[in-house]
Amino acid sequence: MDTLLIYISSILITIWGIAHIIPTKNIVRGFGEINRDNRLIIMMEWISEGIFLIFIGLLNLFIILFGDLHSQEALIVRLISIFFLIIMSILSLFTGARTKIIPMRICPAVKTFCALLIIVGSII
């Protein structure tokens, strides 16, 4: 059961990261007429968050697939992942979740849910 919960979390947060990157062009376009520098910064930040979510998901997935889930190193990876997912959830809660955009509003819940799956999978 522990492995299954971490698999689910890893796959879900990886998919969420991919889904974060796909609409980047439309998200930037939604800001209307902004200068080139601002457009590039928004694009960079939007893609960076998606890549970071993918990294967290794949790192945990690869630890399960190619390592020992119960090793000290795997535990450290899970703890760091939990920490950053919660930090990102809090950031999203005070920023994107305050918009009218549905995916942005549920983002903190998805990140928190994935962190909780890793926590439960780690203590079972």
Name the residue range of residue 84's domain: 2-123
Residue 1 confidence (pLDDT) above 80: no
Instruction: Please state, for a pLDDT cut of 70, what percent of the chain lies above it.
Output: 99
Q: What is the mean pLDDT of residues 45-56?
A: 97
Q: How many domains does the chain have?
A: 1
- The 10s digit of each residue's pLDDT in 7-16 is 999 999 999 9
Q: What percent helix, strand, coil does the chain show, rounded to 5? A: 85, 0, 15
Q: Would you say 50 and 20 are in contact if contact means Cβ atoms under 8 Å apart? A: yes
Q: pTM to 2 decimals? A: 0.92
